[in-house]
Amino acid sequence: MTTPDPLSAISAKDQAEVLAKALPYIRKFHGKTMVIKYGGNAMTDPALQAAFAADVVLLKLVGINPVVVHGGGPQIESLLKRLGKKGEFVHGMRVTDAETMEVVEWVLAGEVQQDIVGLINQAGGKAVGLTGRDGGLIHARKLRLTDPVDKVTEHDVGQVGDIVGIDPAVVKALQVQ
């Protein structure tokens, strides 16, 4: 079965107009790294997933280096529930003990990330997945969560941190110019 060309529904004049409007941005961001947050409905609707993946591939084709960061809260909650573990939150932050961290890592790096990599590769890209641990990409310190009402009280949310630095070396090593 052949997939219809989505551009065939757009007139040549409209295509040229879109390209003319896009060229200044393509020039401005050519060779730059663009970080894209992927989450919400775009992660659950197959049409939006495909459109997202195609857009990521397009960015690379015009010389922009896309880096996708993603969420996965609903998927984490779903697996925790299946395991009989209730997610606990303190002032909107997930309390992450060692067992919960295993679930978080499995869902984000194993399930969600691999789905995203597969979508981008299926759309013609050459995606790979990384975690914050890979190559020392993300450096964090333990989050100290002060109670918003009682400023003296500090809540321990477990293995949750504040990012203090990013070492982009591993990402740059993967970017083909």
Q: Are 49 and 43 within 8 A, CB to CB? A: yes
Per-residue DSSP letter, 96: B
Cβ neighbours of residue 47 under 8 Å, at least 6 residues apart? none
Instruction: Convert the pLDDT of each residue in 4-24 to its tens digit.
Output: 566 667 888 998 998 899 999
Q: Does domain 29-134 match CATH 2.60.200.20?
A: no
Q: Are 100 and 87 within 8 A, CB to CB? A: yes
- Lookup: tokens for 106: 């499995």
Instruction: Convert the pLDDT of each residue in 20-61 to its tens digit.
Output: 999 999 999 999 999 999 998 889 899 999 999 999 999 999
- Lookup: tokens for 166: 């990013």
Structural domain spans, the chain: 29-134
By DSSP bridging, strand 154-155 and strand 145-146 are antiparallel
- What dihedral angle (degrees, nearest 10) is formed by the CA atoms of 43, 4, 125, 176? -130
- Lookup: tokens for 54: 């195609």
Predicted local confidence at residue 101, as pLDDT: 93
Instruction: Convert the pLDDT of each residue in 156-175 to its tens digit.
Output: 999 999 999 999 999 999 88
